[in-house]
Amino acid sequence: MKLTFFGAAHEVTGSCHLLQADGKNILLDCGMFQGSDFNEGKNNEKFPFDPKTIDAVVVSHAHLDHTGRIPKLFREGFHGKIYATKATCELANIIWNDAFHIMSYNNKKFQSPILFDEGDIEMARMHCEGVDYGEKVRIGDIQVTFKDAGHIFGSSFLEIEAEGKTIGFSGDLGNSNVPILRDTDRLGKVDILLCESTYGSRMHESEEMRIQMLHDLIMEGYNKGGVIMMPAFSIERTQEILYRLDKLIEHDKALPCFPIFLDSPMAIDSLPVYKKYPEYYDVEASKHYMNDEDFLSFHCLTLTRTVEESKKINNVPNPKMIIAGSGMMTGGRILHHAFRYLSDPNSTLIIVGYQAYGTLGRKLYEGAETVYIFGQEIPVRCSIKAIGALSAHADQQKILSWVRNAEKMPKKVYCIHGEPESSTALAHKLRDELSIDAFVPERNETVEL
Ligand SMILES: [Zn+2]
């Protein structure tokens, strides 16, 4: 039985691993590389395997860096099934279409290549088989179980039984006490684990602290009287922010009701998926659902789906808040707002998620004094703030306790999906505290399991 790490090795994006067992070739995720131009260029390369030889793809969750190259697989000859939870199938379809629109725009403007077209997305959609948590999927002699990862809506970690061993694949693990989502399920009896390490070297603030920080930063931005910009990942971060704002504004009256815009077609399109699967909700969200309360909406929230609606935000007097994608400011409507308001000392940019190296979000987070947007140099005069704990990822402590509390602790762990420093820090902790053989694999490295 062999495993090759084709992405998310020594880096956070491009999740894609090939498991060869029981005569089958199974891909675990097939995501896009994101971040710098160099990194995104890797998406255009040919797959390092023949897509026609792949029997099936099992997908941990819908995020672009885990699903983004699936339509490209079909374009290059794959014709098998994709297994993912029902919500993941629907959210991935929204994500693929959004990626296609961005690619088409960039293709027209800069002649950059198109990875797939609408026909390939349709093929992917048709071949996506929605499964439930706890359900066992059979691929030949291999069995795959999906368990709740608590990372985004529909997210899962996988337990794969093959050739007498069980391999765990963490996908991305969620932060603790995240609204709407249930906590990460307990890890079962696994022999070998592929474990994400995005925040493998860091600790998040507590939930109370996160809410307090969110409240304080918005209040500060509101009092300054400018625009509060929040680049947010359209799936999950955005819904979490809406849930928190609904509570802070409508229930606790801790924040004033001022104009807030959700300026993200993808986030708006994903709201019905959240409403369709109440069986995924945690206890608190279930209560709201039973009471018929819409926890993703509040009085002063305006959804701006069309470009015209989005442009009208400019005419609304300050203070106002705009939540828009993309989360790392590599594209999307947030760029138009950043272009207008980064130079305004009264405005605020609140960063709420992981920012990959090379992205505009990362440059701003690291204190750049000027940045380039649409080819123009923009001086950064607004306040730049960040709430690390609002990340959708587990921190070091949560990952360690998840592994420690497994039904049977794995003997071997491969730390993937992290920058080298984070993956290495987690590997050391696993070795020192849990006496597990932990490794940080190289991209394209093959290991015998
Ligand atoms: Zn993710």
Cα-Cα end-to-end distance for the chain: 5
Question: What pLDDT is attached to residue 237?
Answer: 87
Intervals of the chain under pLDDT 70:
388-392
CA of 316 to the centre of ligand 1 (A): 34
CA dihedral 165, 58, 198, 283 (to 10 degrees): -100
Instruction: Tell which residue, 112, 128, 190, has the closest CA to residue 158.
Output: 190
Q: 207-390: what fold?
A: Rossmann fold (3.40.50)
CA of 11 to the centre of ligand 1 (A): 13
255 — phi, psi (to 5°)? Answer: -125, 150
175 — phi, psi (to 5°)? Answer: -70, 160
Name the residue ranges covered by the structural domains of the chain: 2-202+392-448, 207-390
CA of 296 to the centre of ligand 1 (A): 20
Residue 438, SS3 per DSSP = strand
Q: 2-202+392-448: what fold?
A: Metallo-beta-lactamase; Chain A (3.60.15)
CA of 156 to the centre of ligand 1 (A): 10
Place of tokens 């279930």: 286
Is 207-390 the same fold as 2-202+392-448?
A: no
pLDDT single digits (tens) 219-237: 999 999 999 999 988 888 8
CA of 314 to the centre of ligand 1 (A): 32
Question: What pLDDT is attached to residue 390?
Answer: 65
CA of 381 to the centre of ligand 1 (A): 31
Element (H, E) at 128: strand 128-131
Separation of CA 75 from chain center = 24
